[in-house]
Amino acid sequence: MPYMYILYSNKLDKYYVGSTRDINDRISRHNRGTGKFTATGIPWNIVYSEKFEAYPEARAREMEVKREKSRNIY
């Protein structure tokens, strides 16, 4: 089942927004340090997720959240 998710790192005091087909595996990979950015913020904790019927919907929602986040920074 596809998901859009938001993780939070206490270490960096930052959020990470992503989408995946397997949320448990993806969060595990983030916390093993397989991604360049997320390796610096381990441990990551899931703070929000949304479930979708198809991956393109989850990806579109990820992009929507990222656009909104960028608008709120400035």
pLDDT value for 6: 97
pLDDT value for 73: 58
Distance between CA atoms of residues 3 and 55, nearest Å:
7
**8 A C-beta contact, residue 18 and residue 7:** yes
pLDDT value for 69: 79
Distance between CA atoms of residues 69 and 57, nearest Å:
18
pLDDT value for 35: 86
This prediction's pTM: 0.89
pLDDT per residue rounded down to tens, the chain (74 residues): 999 999 999 999 999 999 999 999 999 999 999 988 899 999 999 999 999 999 999 999 999 999 987 666 55
